[in-house]
Amino acid sequence: MRLETKLIHAGVRPDPSTGAIMTPIYQTSTYVQAAPGQHKGYEYARTQNPTRDALQQALAAIEGGSWGLSFASGMAATDAILKLLSPGDEVIAANDMYGGTYRIFTKVFEKYGLRFHFVDMQDPASLLPVLNDRTRLIWTETPTNPMMTITDIAAVATLAKKHNALLCVDNTFASPYLQNPLAFGADLVVHSATKYLGGHSDVVHGCIIGNDPALEERLRFIQNSCGAVPGPQDCFLVLRGLKTLHVRMQRHCENGRAIAHWLRNNPKVGKVHWCGFEDSPGYEVARRQMRDFGGMMSFTLKDDRMEPAIKVLSSTHLFSLAESLGGVESLIGHPASMTHASIPREDRVRGGLLDSLIRLSVGIENVEDLIADLDQAIG
C-alpha cells in the first residue's frame, strides 16, 4: 500500500458492533468484564482505548514503523522518550530546535542527572567531540524550527549505531508525507501531531513511532505508568486529519515554494530560510531524504531592527499572528518572543535566530491572496 492509501485505510476498520465506517470515539474510562480477567482486550482506558488503537496503528503504518504510541501532546511524547534514560546518561541534541524541547531538556531533565550537549547537527562531525560511552540518545529535528537547517539522518544514524546510542528524529516539520526518518536508520520518530498530522489547529497531540519491539515495550510501560495519554476525541480528530495529509501537504509545498521565491525576490526582504533553495546549505541532503520541501520558512527584513519586523507581524490579515504551525490556515510568528522565548537570547542568536526573525507556516489558501497579504504587510 502506498502512503496516500495508508493515510485513509491504515488502522481503521468498520466498527465491529455497528459497522460504522468511521472509528467511533470510545468515550469510556473502563470496560465491563464477564468474570475477573475475562475481557475483550480492554481493561482500563489509560492502558487501552479502541479509538487510540486505530490511530496508533495508522501512525505506525504512515511512518513505516511496526508500532506507534500516542500521547497527550508532542512534549508528553518527548518526555516519555527521555524517561528511557538514567542519571549519568548523556544526550546530544541539535542546537537549533523547538524551544520547548530545549526547555524540557535543560529545565526538567538536567536536574535528574541527564547531561545534554548541543551541537550543529548540519555537520555530523560536530558530534564527534562530545560522543562518548555515556551517550545514550541523539536528538535532532530536520528541518529545524525555525532556521530550517537539515540533518543528514543516515550519517547521524551511522554514528549513533557505532556508539550504541538511539537516534530520535522530530519529524514534525516534514510530516511522514515528506520524510520517513526510520527508513534512514533512525530508531525513533516523534511528532507534535498538533501540527501537520492533525492539520486543522483544533487538537494538541503527540506520538512516537519505531520498529524495535523492546523499545515499544519500554515506551508502552512509560505511557501507561506515567499516564500522559490523549483522550479519545483527540485521537479521533488526529485520525480524521491524517486522511487528508497528502492533499494538504501537496498544497502546503506548492504554496511554500511560491512564497519562498517571492520573498527572496522582494527587495525589502533580507535572508530567507527555506530548505528548497538550491543554494541553501542543506539542499542536497534534503533532496535525498525528503520528497519535497514543505511550507515552513523564516526570514528577516533588510532593515533587521525589531520595529519593522513587529510592523509586519502586526499587519497581516490572512496570516494570523499565533504560535503553532501546520494547520490549513496560514500563520505568522515571532520565534524570539513566542516559540523560542525559553531559549536564552545569547544561545538563540549564536544559532542565527535573530530577534527580528519572522516565521511563516504557509497554509493551503489561494497563494495569490497569501502573497498579496504579505506584500501589503511588508510594504
Task: Name the strand (E) or helix (H) holding 333.
Answer: strand 331-333
Please give the single-letter amino acid code of residue 6: K
Query: Distance between CA 79 and CA 204 in Å, rounded?
Result: 15
Binding residue (CB under 6 A) for ligand PLP from 122, 172, 179, 223: 172
Beta-sheet strands, E only, within 211-267: none
Residues 65 to 84 in contact with ligand PLP, rule: CB under 6 A: 73-75
| Cβ-contact 161, 184 below 8 angstroms | no
**DSSP letter (8 states) at residue 38:** B
Write down the catalytic residue from 170, 187, 292, 373. 170
Smallest distance from the beta carbon of 278 to ligand PLP, in angstroms?
25
Query: Distance between CA 336 and CA 267 in Å, rounded?
Result: 24
Write down the catalytic residue from 98, 102, 177, 196. 98
CB of 61 or CB of 325, closer to ligand PLP: 325
3-state secondary structure of 337: coil
Residue 13 — left, alpha, or beta (φ > 0 → left; ψ -120 to 50 → alpha)? beta
CA distances from 229 to 47, 74, 239, 336 (A): 9, 11, 15, 30
Residue 142 binds ligand PLP (CB under 6 A): no
Task: Provide the grid cell at 332.
Answer: 505568522
Would you tell me how many other CB atoms lie within 10 Å of the CB of residue 48?
A: 18
| Cβ-contact 193, 205 below 8 angstroms | yes
Residues 267 to 306 in contact with ligand PLP, rule: CB under 6 A: none
Q: Binding string to ligand PLP for residues 301 to 340, with x set by CB under 6 A, is what?
A: --------------------------------------x-
CB of 10 or CB of 169, closer to ligand PLP: 169
Residue 53 binds ligand PLP (CB under 6 A): no
| Residue nearest ligand PLP (C-beta atom) | 74
| Cβ-contact 314, 275 below 8 angstroms | no
CB of 73 or CB of 149, closer to ligand PLP: 73
CB of 56 or CB of 101, closer to ligand PLP: 101
- Phi then psi dihedrals of residue 370, to 5 deg: -65, -45
Q: Binding string to ligand PLP for residues 190 to 229, with x set by CB under 6 A, is what?
A: --x-x---------x-x-----------------------
Q: Please provide the DSSP assignment of 54-97 as one string.
A: HHHHHHHHHHT-SEEEEESSHHHHHHHHHTT--TT-EEEEESSS
Write down the catalytic residue from 52, 195, 248, 348. 195
Binding residue (CB under 6 A) for ligand PLP from 50, 100, 198, 276: 100
- Phi then psi dihedrals of residue 338, to 5 deg: -115, -95
Q: Which stretch binds ligand PLP (CB under 6 A): 166-174, 175-183, 261-269, 301-309?
A: 166-174
Known catalytic residue at 31: no
Would you tell me how many other CB atoms lie within 10 Å of the CB of residue 146?
A: 31
Residue 179 binds ligand PLP (CB under 6 A): no
Q: Which stretch binds ligand PLP (CB under 6 A): 93-101, 178-186, 270-278, 289-297?
A: 93-101
Please give the single-letter amino acid code of residue 297: M
CB of 238 or CB of 374, closer to ligand PLP: 238
Site size toward ligand PLP, by CB under 6 A: 16
How do beta strands 206-210 and 188-192 pair?
antiparallel
CB of 343 or CB of 367, closer to ligand PLP: 343
Known catalytic residue at 46: yes
Binding residue (CB under 6 A) for ligand PLP from 48, 140, 145, 316: 145
Please give the radius of gyration of the chain, using alpha carbons only, rounded to the nearest integer: 21
3-state secondary structure of 160: helix
Residue 143 binds ligand PLP (CB under 6 A): no
CB of 26 or CB of 196, closer to ligand PLP: 196
Write down the catalytic residue from 46, 243, 251, 271. 46
| Cβ-contact 282, 94 below 8 angstroms | no
Smallest distance from the beta carbon of 99 to ligand PLP, in angstroms?
8
Catalytic center residues:
46, 98, 170, 195
Please report, as ranges, the residues that interact with ligand PLP according to CB under 6 A.
Answer: 73-75, 98, 100-101, 141, 145, 170, 172-173, 192, 194, 204, 206, 339
